[in-house]
Amino acid sequence: MFNARRLILAHFWIAIAAFLGALILGEWQMIVRSPLHAWVDNPEHYYRSLTAHGSAMGYVFPTLIAMGFGYAISVSALKRNLLGLRWAWVALALVVVGALAAMITVGLGRASVLYTFYPPLVGHAFYYLGIVLVVVGSWVWVVLLSLNLRAWRKEHPGVKVPLAMFANVAGAYLWAWTAVGAALEILLQILPVAFGWKTTIDAGLARVLFSWTLHAIVYFWLMPAYIAYYTIVPRAIGGRLYSDTMARFSFALFLVFAMPIGVHHLFADPMVGSGIKVMHTIFTGMVAVPTFLTVFTICASVELAARMRGGRGIIGWLGALPWKNPAMLAVAFSFVMLGLGGAGGLINMSYQLDSTVHNTQWITGHFHLIFAGAIVIMYFVIAYDLWPQLTGRALQSLSLMRLQLWLWFLGMMILTLPWHLSGLLGMPRRMAYFDYTHVATSPYAWTVIVSVLGGAMVLISGVLFVAILAKGHRTERVGVEPYRFSVALHEHATAPRALNGFAVWIALMVALTLVNYGFPIWQLSRIESTSVPAIYVGGDQ
Amino acid sequence: MSRIGVWGVLATLALVLLGGFLGFVWLPQSQDPSLSPFAAWCSALGVPRTWLASASIRPEVPTSEVLLTHELLGVQDDSDRGHGATLALRCSMCHGPTGISYADSPNLAGQYAAVIYKQLHDYRSGARSSPIMTPMARTLSDLEMRQLSAYYAGLSKPAGSTLIGNAPAIIRWGAPMRNVAPCGSCHGDIDHTMASPWLKGEPQNYLRAQLMAFASGARTNDINGQMRAMVQGMTPAEIEAAARYYAGDAK
Amino acid sequence: MTDHASRSPDAEAIASQFELGWGVLVGVIIALLLGMIVFTAVHWSSMPPSRVEVVEASTLHRTGEFVQDNLGTAVDATGRIVVRMLAAQYAFRPSCVVVPEGVPVTFRATSSDVVHGFQILGTNVNSMVVPGYVSTFEMTLHGVGERAMPCHEFCGVGHASMWARVRVLPWSKFQALSRAKRRTSCV
């Protein structure tokens, strides 16, 4: 890993620490709002936990994984030391300080506003400042990746950018632009109120600004997983990537369409016009395209690997796959969850169907299935794949890794599928307790109990994951070969210019942002009468 | 720009035009054919317009005139508290010289300033009526009400713990399926909302009487009928339990 | 797979052909989904209301459409049935809403403090309620009986106990009620 080995390890371990803590909180939440437990003593504790869990899992954990993996890709794909290593450590420090500031503030009960903020509810300023620091740290990462790619390009003019780095930087640019929405909300609206310089806030404008970030942030989380699909899995299972060009095209499409579609989170909101909602629906349909393309390319690549191993028949080749390989297991599990979660996403995208599930537990089940399920299971694969490079030691416990992945998959399915059902039955979100004896809510009871069991499996799997990685620091040292990414079936020395650079895609992304968000934001910021008094939480006011 | 780039731009443009036509022309007109194209376009964009708001309606039942904002009381200092202390001499007969009453009048010591101000204002405007308080409030100017509020807010609260551990269910969890929120979510054990009074240590008879007044609709100065909505969902046993809990050691 | 095969232009052309075919299929699927959305929007008038209305949240109790006396179910001069609701920490007013069965009902709701939301369980009524804005939509409810209407957006520590009720009455019963009083509810 050239000069970045310790840097990357630090990112992963801090990410995993946040992950484990949030996982424990998650299962506690699940238990305490289920029929298996008495109503939580103080509802504020539940919302405190919810804020911590969401902030850690949404802002800290995936950001650190993306950053660490991003540095690993930069040095391994470009085959050079990381430029700006000291700045990378500064960025990590910003993220850690920010995360601690936020978590301690939440832990003290001063900012139980949930990770989606939801003004006019306003918590203590240190929570928001903490999030800002995390985002600033990630922006430093974006700049570093960009600079490293530029330096490499200067030394290799006209050469095709390695796919992993192309996707890596595309994801970084996407994140940089998408974070602007929440940054505007926090810096211009929330922090002035949290500090007491202003006492009113426009909730409608805040929700629109947050929706700018809210959808594409999940694509920021998804990027490492998709990069793993394309550049790790085919190599790990002994195959080839079906198409390098299609892969680049998919990432370019993500860069364009992932961000300007956030208003589909606001279908039921009164402050956005219906025409804007239709525009966002159309483009949300477009963002499904790169996922569909990915499914094809990866399935084809997997079939390729099977046939290279002697697989025969229309589906008989499945048996020839290296199922003992954790990467193979993980990608299969991930695709099952991606299929189910993606279908759920298509349902959410339609205004009519969304009306039946908006703000019910269907939504919570959906994003746990797709993020905690399909994506995080690939984070495990990334960690397992990089670990020998990072530690200089072999990761030995293949069977334990398989067990861990099985537990995660089965746990996730058992956790989230009944969760979807409870949402269809109407169970509302974010309630600290339910009266399960009432005729309206008693149908939910069994779904919640089953989800608790799934959550327990998930928690055990998470602990196993940590144990496997920890053990990986203590096995015997081995010589490791330089890290390799997957090779395409038809390798070309050059790529089309549009798929070797980002200018046109970034231009489209910004232009679409203007078209899709420009008027609502401009108009909402002009209206004075919609600013309402802030409601401060967690302190005597 | 390469061919892929050109196609990408053209395709995006085509989608924008398609979305524009669907969202701003076809769908709005099919929903409301009486709209002119320009009006349909503006409406779909989200330009605010009024509809069904009808003429402004004044409430039939007297309600509070107070506007609850963070600027309600302005800046208050020691001179305000000093003047308030002088004004409070005439209140001490019922509310006690230290703001802790001997009878069933509410204790004012340590009460939030916004609460005291609002109740005085409501007595004066007629939103809340009492044969004793109404004439007293009518003698006060707005500045004097603020000064009284500042004075009482600065006094020490009556004793009482804030532990939620031994509070009855209605305080901790409310009655969810009857639309009754936990008392503690507004009145301090769990969280506090603006202009919700601090209830700990208030006389039990006073608390019960006020809750019954909300329940019957006799008291109407709660903003937006908030307390009336709450109490109308409570059972008599819950009303009694709440009054007893907040009265605590005080009689 | 031999290098010979991967170098052969035919193999790459075939691979690209499959990809293109898949791309077309994806395009068709997405067009179909979007088409269904547009169709139901036009044919069943099931789309977001295209009005944005603003209202002053701090003075709701003093003047305007959402004063206490004006909340509840009303039949206006044109015969339109309008339900006006106010959401606040932590109750809906009226906490029991009366609606007639099988007839279009116009819902109008706003909040006096933070963001709330509500869903009438067993129906497609599902809306956010944002302070400063009026949420309005039309819905026809089927099936006589009582339904729960929880607040489904986090609105503070009391959110878990914000459950209102909706009573769907047969048209005749509703008519009798609404003739007796200007604004009806089942509180």
Query: Are B61 and C68 in contact (CB < 8 Å)?
Result: yes
CATH superfamily of C57-180: Cupredoxins -  blue copper proteins (2.60.40.420)
Q: A359 CA to chain C: closest CA distance, Å?
A: 6
Q: How confident is the model at residue C125 (pLDDT cuts 50, 70, 90)?
A: very high
Contact yes or no for A274 and B23 at CB 8 A: yes
Choice between B195 and A405, residue whose per-residue pLDDT is larger:
A405
Q: Is residue A337 part of a domain?
A: yes
Chains that touch B (3 or more CB pairs under 8 A): A, C
Residues within 8 A of C (CB atoms), A 73-132 only = 112, 114, 118, 120-121
Give the per-residue pLDDT at B163: 58
Indicate the number of domains in chain A.
1
> pLDDT band at C2, cuts 50/70/90?
very low
Q: What is the mean pLDDT of residues A96-123?
A: 95
- A224 in any annotated domain: yes
Reported as a single tens digit per residue, the pLDDT across C96-118 is 999 999 999 999 999 999 999 99
pLDDT for the residue numbered B1: 63
Based on the residue annotation, tell me whether A366 is a catalytic residue of this protein: yes
A368 catalytic? Reply is yes
Report the pLDDT value the prediction gives residue B60, as an integer from 0 to 100: 79
Q: What would the mean pLDDT of B183-200 be, rounded to a whole number? A: 89
% chain B with pLDDT above 70? 94
The A residues from 22 to 81 touching B (CB cutoff 8 Å) are 39, 41-44
CB A478 within 8 A of CB A389: no
Supply the pLDDT for residue C178: 87
Q: Grade residue B164 by pLDDT with cuts at 50, 70 and 90.
A: low
In a domain, A203, yes or no: yes
Q: Is A497 a catalytic residue?
A: no
Q: Please give the full DSSP string across chain B, using - where no structure is assigned.
A: --HHHHHHHHHHHHHHHHHHHIIIIIHHHHH-TTS-HHHHHHHHHT-B---S--S----SS--------TTSS----HHHHHHHHHHGGGGHHHH-TTS--SSSSPP-TT--HHHHHHHHHHHHHTSS--TTHHHHHHT--HHHHHHHHHHHHTSPPPP-----TT--HHHHT-BGGGTB--THHHHSSS-B-TTPPP-TT--HHHHHHHHHHHHHT----SGGGHHHHHHHT--HHHHHHHHHHHHTT--
Is residue C88 less than 8 Å (CB to CB) from chain B?
Answer: yes
Q: Would you say residue A323 has pLDDT above 90?
A: yes
Helix axes A5-32, A445-471, angle to 10 degrees: 160
Judge whether A339 is closer than 8 Å to chain C, CB to CB: no
Does residue C21 belong to the interface with chain A, where contact is any CB pair within 8 Å? no
Domain annotation covers residue A541: no
Closest partner residue to C162 (CB to CB) among B44, B48, B181 is B181
Grade residue B188 by pLDDT with cuts at 50, 70 and 90: confident
Provide the pLDDT for residue A529.
87
CB contact under 8 A, A527 and B48: yes
| Per-residue pLDDT tens over the stretch C22-63 | 999 999 999 999 999 888 888 776 666 668 999 999 889 888
* pLDDT tens per residue across span A262-300: 999 999 999 999 999 999 999 999 999 999 999 999 999
Measured between CA atoms, the residue of chain C closest to residue A308 is C1
pLDDT of B250 > 60? The answer is no
Residue whose C-alpha is closest to residue A500's, from A255, A297, A249, A256: A249
pLDDT of residue A240: 93
Residue A169 placed within a domain? yes
Residue C15 or A337, more confident: A337
Interface touch B48/A433, C-beta < 8 Å: no
CATH number of the domain enclosing A223: 1.20.210.10
pLDDT in tens, B53-71: 666 677 778 888 888 888 8
Which of C37, C50, C58 is opposite residue A350, by nearest beta carbon? C37
Chain length of chain B: 251
Its ipTM equals 0.91
**pLDDT one-digit tens code per residue, A178-205:** 999 999 999 999 999 999 999 999 999 9
Mean pLDDT for the stretch of residues A511-529: 93
Pick the more confident residue, A174 or A479: A174
Of the candidates C67, C91, C156, the beta carbon closest to that of B230 is on C91
Distance, in Å, from the CA atom of A233 to the CA atom of B115, rounded to the nearest integer, reads: 64
Active site residue A115: no
Size of interface A-C (CB pairs under 8 A): 197
Q: Is A220 a catalytic residue?
A: no
Residue A107: inside a domain: yes
Residue-number span of the structural domain to which A310 is assigned: 2-486+495-536
The answer to whether residue C42 neighbours chain B at the CB level (below 8 Å) is: yes
**Chain C residues closer than 8 Å to B69 by CB:** 58
Chain A residue with CA closest to C12: the answer is: A490
Q: How far is A82 from chain C (nearest CA, A)?
A: 34
Whether A133 maps to a domain, the answer reads yes
Q: Could you tell me if A436 lies within 8 Å of chain C, comparing CB atoms? A: no
**Among C residues 136-165, those touching chain A with beta carbons less than 8 Å apart:** 136, 147-148, 150-160, 163
Kindly report the pTM of this predicted structure. 0.94
Rounded average pLDDT over A144-150: 97
Closest residue, chain B, to A514 (C-alpha):
B16
> Which of B32 and C113 is assigned the larger pLDDT?
C113
Using the predicted structure, report yes or no on whether residue B130 has a pLDDT greater than 50: yes
Condensed to tens digits (0 to 9), the pLDDT of residues A62-82 reads 999 999 999 999 999 999 999
Q: Does C123 touch chain A (CB under 8 A)?
A: no
**Structure confidence at residue C1 (pLDDT):** 44
Cβ <8 Å between A497 and B5: yes
Rounded mean pLDDT, B179-184: 93
A403 pLDDT more than 70:
yes
With an 8 Å Cβ cutoff, are C91 and B177 in contact?
no
CB proximity under 8 Å: A 203-262 to B: 249, 252, 256
Q: Which of A46, A229, A367, A371 is catalytic?
A: A367
Query: How far is Cα A2 from Cα A169, in angstroms, rounded to an integer?
Result: 19
Q: What is the pLDDT of residues A331-387, one digit of tens each?
A: 999 999 999 999 999 999 988 888 889 999 999 999 999 999 999 999 999 999 999
Is A470 within a domain?
A: yes
Candidates B22, B173, B186; nearest CB to C89: B186
* Partners of chain C (3+ Cβ pairs below 8 A): A, B
Is 70 exceeded by the pLDDT of residue A484?
yes
Q: What is the DSSP string of A193-211?
A: HHTTS--EEEHHHHHHHHH
Q: How does the average pLDDT of chain B come out, rounded? A: 88
Q: Where are the domains of chain C?
A: 3-43, 57-180
Interface residue A109 vs chain B (CB under 8 A): no
